[in-house]
Amino acid sequence: MRTDSATPIGAWAECVGSPYVWSTWGHLLHSIRTGENAFQSLNGKDIWNYRAERPEESAVFDRAMTEFSRGGAEAVIGAYDFSAFHHVVDVGGGRGLMLAAILTAHPRMQGTLFDQPGVIAGAEAVLEAHGVVDRCRMVSGSFFESVPEGGDAYVMRVVIHDWDDDEAIAILKACRRAMRETAKLVLIERIIAPANEVPATKFMDLHMLALPGGRERTRDEFSDLLAKSGFELTRVVPAGRINVIEARPY
Q: Which residues belong to the active site?
A: 161
Which residues pair with residue 91 across a beta bridge?
114
Q: How far apart (Å, rounded) are the C-alpha atoms in residues 121 and 144? A: 20
Q: At what angle do helices 219-227 and 165-178 cross, to 10 degrees?
A: 60
The number of beta carbons lying within 10 Å of the beta carbon of residue 14 is 15
Say if CB 66 and CB 95 are below 8 A apart: yes
Burial group, residue 10, by CB count within 10 angstroms (0-12, 13-18, 19+): middle
DSSP 120-184: HTTHHHHHHHTT-GGGEEEEE--TTT---S--SEEEEES-GGGS-HHHHHHHHHHHHHH--TT-E
Say if CB 245 and CB 225 are below 8 A apart: no
Question: In 3D, which of 151, 141, 192, 191 has the Cα closest to residue 171?
Answer: 141
Question: In 3D, which of 58, 71, 69 has the Cα closest to residue 15?
Answer: 58
Q: How far apart (Å, rounded) are the C-alpha atoms in residues 190 and 200? A: 10
At residue 235, what is the residue type? R
